[in-house]
Amino acid sequence: MTWRMPAETAPQDRVWMAFPAGGYTLGDTAAEADEARRTWAAVAHAIVDFEPVTMVVDPSAQADATRYLSAAIEILEAPLNDSWMRDIGPSFVHDADGRLGAVDWTFNGWGDQEWASWDLDASIGRFVAEAAGAAVVGSSLVNEGGGIHVDGEGTVLATTSVQLDPARNPGATHASVEAELRRTIGAEHVVWLPRGLTRDHTRFGTRGHIDMVAALPSPGTILLHAQNDPAHPDYPLTRELRALLADAHDAAGRSFTIIDLPAPAVVRDDEGFVDYNYVNHLVVNGGVIACGFGEDRADAQARDVLAATYPGRRVVSVEARPLFTRGGGIHCITQQQPSQRA
C-alpha cells in the first residue's frame, strides 16, 4: 500500500481538536482553566465559519465543553490527558486510489517529558482515525504532527532535534526516519533543519517542532519565521535556517522561494524569550486561521503576508498568547482531515 500525506491546502472534510481537560494546559487556578477553555473554543468557533469541527472531549469535561462550545461544534467523548490534537492525533493520508488513511504515530509525551502524562493520549490517534472512517496506518516512529510539514508532492520539512531525539527514537538515524516517513506519508525528500526555536527547547517545549518555524504553503515555497530583533536568541537562528533553506531543494529538485514572516515586536514574557510566531497557522477551506498577539501592526502585516501566500483565502486572527504560554499555537491544537479523493 502506498500512502501520501496531502498538502494542508487540500480540500478538507473537517478539523479535529481536543478540549482542555487537565494537566499543564488547564493550569492550577480557575482563571487559568477558564482562559484555556475560552482560547480553545475561540479557535474552534473561528474554524467552524469555514468547515466542520469535531472536538474530542474527556468524559470529565463534558459539562465544561457544552458551556464553552456552540452547538455548531460536534463533540465526541474519549479519555484525554491533554489537548494538543496536532501531536496526539493521527496524520491523515491518501492511498493511490484517494482513499483515506491515518498514520497512528507512537506518542510518548514529546520525548518522555517529566511533566507530561500520555497513557490516554497515546490512544487518540487510533480513536480519531476510526471515528473518521480512515484505514489505520500504524507506526513505531515516535513523532508528533507538529514535527513534520509537507507539500503534498513528497517534500517533508523536519528537525533533527525532534526526530533523532534519543528520548523519542533512540538509535534512529536520518536514513531510518526517512524510510519510515516514506512508508507512512510518502516522503520522497526530507529537508532537515537542525533545531527549532529557542523557547521550544525549554522545559515545556517540544525540543524543536518544525511547525513553529517553517511551513510549506505550496510546492517550492517556504514560509519562514523571521526574528528581526538582535536581542532575541532566535535572531541568529532564523538567519542560519534561512541560509540552509536557500541551499536546499524540494522533491522535484526545485530551489525554494522563501517568504519571511516577521515575528511580533514583543520578545519576552515572565518566563523569558518568547517563541511568538505566525508560521503556526491553520489552513482551512477558503480561509486561514492565524495567531494574533495583540499587536495591531504586526498582526495585520502577518495577515497580509498570509493572504498573499494563500490567494483566495480569507485570513482571520485569533488571540493566541494563551496558547503560546502553554507551549504551542493554533496549528498545534488542530488537525485537518482531508477529503477523500474521488
The predicted-structure confidence for 74-118, as pLDDT tens digits, reads as follows 999 999 999 999 999 999 999 999 999 999 999 999 999 988 899
Q: What is the pLDDT of residue 341?
A: 76
CA distance linking residue 25 with residue 214, whole number of Å: 24
For residues 216 and 222, the answer to whether their CB atoms sit within 8 Å is yes
Q: What is the pLDDT of residue 311?
A: 98
Task: Name the strands in the sheet holding 257-262, side by side, starting at the edge strand that comes first in the sequence.
Answer: 214-218, 221-226, 257-262
Q: Name the active-site residue from 57, 216, 332, 333.
A: 332
The predicted-structure confidence for 21-78, as pLDDT tens digits, reads as follows 988 899 889 999 999 999 999 999 999 999 999 999 999 999 999 999 999 999 999 9
What's the rounded mean pLDDT across residues 142-161?
A: 98
Could you tell me the CA-to-CA distances from 230 to 44, 237, 329 in Å, in that order?
35, 11, 23
CA distance linking residue 148 with residue 157, whole number of Å: 6
Question: What confidence category does residue 205 fall into, taking pLDDT thresholds of 50, 70 and 90?
Answer: confident
CA distance linking residue 222 with residue 20, whole number of Å: 31
**Nearest alpha carbon to residue 24 among 157, 161, 119, 117:** 117
Question: What confidence category does residue 342 fall into, taking pLDDT thresholds of 50, 70 and 90?
Answer: low
Could you tell me the CA-to-CA distances from 19 to 24, 33, 80 in Å, in that order?
13, 11, 9
The predicted-structure confidence for 228-282, as pLDDT tens digits, reads as follows 999 999 999 999 999 999 999 999 999 999 999 999 999 999 889 999 999 999 9
Q: Is 332 a catalytic residue?
A: yes
- In this structure, what C-alpha cell is assigned to residue 268? 519576552
Q: What is the pLDDT of residue 299?
A: 98
Rounded mean pLDDT of the chain?
97
Percent of the chain with pLDDT over 90: 93
- In this structure, what C-alpha cell is assigned to residue 256? 525554494
Domains of the chain in start order, with CATH, are: 3-338 (3.75.10.10)
Q: What is the pLDDT of residue 245?
A: 99
What is this structure's pTM? 0.97
Q: Report whether pLDDT(204) > 90.
A: no
- In this structure, what C-alpha cell is assigned to residue 224? 519562514
CA distance linking residue 232 with residue 234, whole number of Å: 5
* Residue 131 CB neighbour total at 10 angstroms: 15
**HSE value, Cβ hemisphere, 13 Å, CA-based, for 146:** 31
Pairing verdict, β 257-262 and 100-106: unpaired
Amino acid at site 32: E
CA distance linking residue 87 with residue 333, whole number of Å: 8
Q: What is the pLDDT of residue 22?
A: 84
- In this structure, what C-alpha cell is assigned to residue 120? 490516554
